[in-house]
Amino acid sequence: MKVQDLEFKKFITAPALAEKVHALATQINHDYKGKTPMFLPILNGSFMFAADLLKEIKVPCRVSFVKTSSYSGTSSTGQLKTLIGHDESLFNQHIIIVEDIVDTGLTLEKIIEELRALGAKSVEAVTLLRKKPAREKKVDVKYVGFDLEMEFVLGYGLDYDGLGRNYKDLYKLAENASANP
Ligand code: IMP
């Protein structure tokens, strides 16, 4: 499948994604029994994952979408913007950050730091995908769906230059395509 100048191939199918989402939700339901967590999905990439995950959360919870951005094309720019859009008080809340993918972990580390400074009672993160750099850096993510190497992926909310978020399956860059066009 071609998106802009790059060729992508199917990587993780919609049913496999759904199965993993169910497993993550089951773990969270177990761990947060008796609590009322606040889910903070990070836009734009997590919108599809967050919608599917939250449909399977059985404990009472709140949801507030927030935004930050550090990506341009297929490699991290390292340019971090601050967390924006949280309109409810996060003070004294059990926060669960919902990420689509953790790559270098810079975005997540910055968000966790900000939330702790705002006085959150606890801060954990759930991510559908985690790449090798975050694993090596031991970035603090309690719930991880799939561990990847370095492949660039799109679909199921994730984009390549704004395109591909609408696909229900996850795709990865074909091996012969350049990751840095
Ligand atoms: P990090 O700060 O390097 O961990 O980057 C995290 C953010 O970069 C994610 O929330 C995504 O928006 C974006 N990102 C990282 N890897 C990919 C990818 O393979 N495809 C699409 N977006 C990605």
Q: Count Cβ atoms below 10 Å from residue 31 Cβ, excluding itself.
A: 15
Number of domains in the chain: 1
Residue 23: domain span: 2-71+79-173
> Are 95 and 108 within 8 A, CB to CB?
no
Is the pLDDT confidence value at 86 over 80?
Answer: no
Confidence of residue 179 (pLDDT cuts 50, 70, 90): very low
pLDDT of residue 180: 42
Entry pTM: 0.91
The ligand 1 atom nearest the CA atom of 139: 4
The ligand 1 atom nearest the CA atom of 134: 4
* Residues flanking ligand 1, CB < 6 Å: 45, 70-71, 76, 99-108, 152-154, 158-159
Is the pLDDT confidence value at 65 over 50?
Answer: yes
pLDDT of residue 181: 35
Which tokens in the block code for residue 36? 């009322």
Is the pLDDT confidence value at 149 over 50?
Answer: yes
**94-102 and 122-130 strand pairing:** parallel
Per the domain annotation, does 181 fall within a domain? Answer: no
Exactly one of 52, 100, 103, 159 is catalytic; name it: 103
pLDDT of residue 29: 98
Confidence of residue 79 (pLDDT cuts 50, 70, 90): low
- Which of these, 76, 80, 114, 74, lies nearest to 97 by C-alpha position? 114
> Any catalytic annotation for residue 103?
yes
Is the pLDDT confidence value at 77 over 60?
Answer: no
Residues 6+ apart with CB under 8 A from 151: 11, 172, 173
pLDDT of residue 141: 95
pLDDT of residue 89: 77
Instruction: Report the residue among 158, 170, 173, 180 best suited for mutation to probe ligand 1: largest number of ligand atoms under 8 A from its CB.
Output: 158
Helices of type H across 32-105: 47-54
Per the domain annotation, does 178 fall within a domain? Answer: no
Q: How far is the CA of 94 from the centre of ligand 1 (A)?
A: 24
Per the domain annotation, does 179 fall within a domain? Answer: no
pLDDT of residue 84: 74
CATH of residue 14: 3.40.50.2020
Per the domain annotation, does 180 fall within a domain? Answer: no
